[in-house]
Amino acid sequence: MNTPILTQNAPAPAGHYAQAIRAGDTLYISGQLPIRADKAPPADMGFAAQARQAIANMLAILEAAGGQPQDLCRVTAYIVGVENWPEFNRVYAEMLGEARPARTVVPVPELHYGYLAEIDAIAAFQAC
């Protein structure tokens, strides 16, 4: 049985999708842009602030489903500009702490609304 996850601590979906779907012990988190829960863009539009907000949205949804960073199994990050990879890695490591899920960083030419980072994830509530 698939259970949609919805939290007010992350932006509500802007289209025909759920923030996340829990299927048994697995959680699939939809791509999160750097938009605050109130749908406003971050005050600081720099890359680090955008990465931080996108990751914070992902973590808020994970928490709403009863998870924590250690439950993440796979993360995919889409970043505009490969030159932003070191900064993304720094912010990501700071926010995830000791959690080290499998991860892919995909440099892309552009993202929706002109944002610079988007992140999605898969978590499992038993061993990955």
pLDDT at site 127:
62
pLDDT at site 6:
96
Question: What's the domain count of the chain?
Answer: 1
Task: Give the CATH number, domain containing residue 33.
Answer: 3.30.1330.40
pLDDT at site 43:
82
> In terms of residue numbers, what domain contains 10?
2-124
pLDDT at site 128:
59
Q: Residue 64: which of 108, 110, 20 has the closest Cα?
A: 20
- List of residues 6+ apart from 30 with CB closer than 8 A: 13, 17, 18, 19, 20, 120
- List of residues 6+ apart from 77 with CB closer than 8 A: 51, 54, 88, 92, 103, 104, 105, 106, 117, 118, 119
Q: Is 101 exposed, middle or buried (0-12, 13-18, 19+ CB in 10 A)?
A: middle
Consecutive 10-residue averages of pLDDT for the chain (128 residues): 95 95 97 94 89 98 97 98 96 98 97 96 85
